[in-house]
Amino acid sequence: MSEPEDITPGPIPEPPKGYKSGYVTIMGKPNAGKSTFLNAVLGTKLSIISPKVQTTRHRITGIHSDDRGQIVFLDTPGFLEPRYKLHEKMMHAVRRSVEDADLILFILDPGDVPSEEELAWFASYRKKPVLLMVNKSDRFKEATITAAAEQMAQQLHLRDTRIISALNLEGVPELVEQIFALLPEGPPFFPPDQLSEHPERFFVSELIREQLFHLYRAEIPYSCAVNIISFEAEPEITRIDAEIVVSRNSQKGIVIGKGGTALKKLGTEARKEIQQFLGTKVYLNLFVKVREKWRENETFLRSYGYNS
């Protein structure tokens, strides 16, 4: 991945004739490759990725601008069965993103086609155009891809279907071209040099959370939230204090590890990613806090940024 671009906004210029703009909401089952696709289009790592389901928890805005127009992508957690209040809030964010969409980009893993029940709530959004993106073409046989795409076409009213590999960047430019073809003419919503709506510290907390997904097993990544306590950007170094919230005392022990080794590894890996993202040296101080049942607690959820 290349260096992230500056996300400080500049002025919004007058668009040329034929300029397109719109909101494209990325939908699909967990692990379909939604965040991988967003990063592939933007050419930078904005949305965190892991081989585990439910990696994305918030709605992530990623803005692509070029001569043709501006696409405001909304990456979402996709479908999930609400088990905690946290999940209800995540689903609320998904619904809001679908409502805001000019176009829904439905990303499909050919090996994990959604059931009719999973697609049922889509029925209320019938009027929204849907573009199907069959992902992971590098991993599946043509016959599997075609069968999966046909199954989806029977259940959703599709404007078009594209087959790509987000991981290998195959078919990505062609898909972006097709998105522009389906978007209405209109002025940009954001300055063309703006990459996202979230502040830097949000992405920093996400990069720490990503390492929790990579380094810990079982329920640990799902039991954690990450909060940035202080963020001081000095010319040579950025100093960051962050807390990892867990829901049980036993989880605190696991996150810290024997003699603090696990937490140290987490800090080292996260720091590398944050340094690449910010383009500065980083001093990262991590500590672990127990907040019982935070995933069920409205006050905690709000203070951790789950507002919807």
Ligand X SMILES: Nc1nc2c(ncn2[C@@H]2O[C@H](COP(=O)(O)OP(=O)(O)OP(=O)(O)O)[C@@H](O)[C@H]2O)c(=O)[nH]1
Positions touching ligand X (CB under 6 A) are 28, 30-36, 49-51, 53-56, 77-78, 135-136, 138-139, 165-167
Report phi then psi at 73, rounded to 5: -85, 140
**In the complex, what is the shortest distance from the CB of residue 84 to Mg ion, in angstroms, rounded to a whole number?**
18
Query: Nearest-5° angle of CA 221, CA 107, CA 154?
Result: 130
Binding of residue 97 to Mg ion (CB under 5 A) = no
**In the complex, what is the shortest distance from the CB of residue 27 to ligand X, in angstroms, rounded to a whole number?**
10
**In the complex, what is the shortest distance from the CB of residue 89 to ligand X, in angstroms, rounded to a whole number?**
15
- Which is closer to Mg ion, CB of 26 or CB of 242? 26
SS3 annotation, 238-255? EEEEEEEEECCHHHHHHH
Q: Which of 180, 195, 166 is nearest to 61 (CA)?
A: 195
**In the complex, what is the shortest distance from the CB of residue 257 to Mg ion, in angstroms, rounded to a whole number?**
26
**In the complex, what is the shortest distance from the CB of residue 249 to ligand X, in angstroms, rounded to a whole number?**
27
Binding of residue 61 to Mg ion (CB under 5 A) = no
- Which is closer to Mg ion, CB of 48 or CB of 282? 48
User: CA-to-CA distance for 200 and 71, rounded, in angstroms?
Assistant: 21
Binding of residue 56 to Mg ion (CB under 5 A) = yes
- Which is closer to Mg ion, CB of 20 or CB of 198? 198
Residue 161, binding choice from ligand X, Mg ion, none, Cβ under 5 to 8 Å by partner class: none
User: CA-to-CA distance for 33 and 233, rounded, in angstroms?
Assistant: 33
**Among the residues of 60-155, which ranges form H helices?**
85-100, 116-120, 142-155
User: CA-to-CA distance for 129 and 185, rounded, in angstroms?
Assistant: 16
Binding of residue 31 to Mg ion (CB under 5 A) = no
Listed ranges 32-40, 104-112, 185-193, 244-252: which one lies at the site for Mg ion (CB under 5 A)? 32-40
Binding of residue 39 to Mg ion (CB under 5 A) = no
- Which is closer to ligand X, CB of 135 or CB of 211? 135
Q: In one letter, which amino acid is 67?
A: D
User: CA-to-CA distance for 94 and 114, rounded, in angstroms?
Assistant: 16
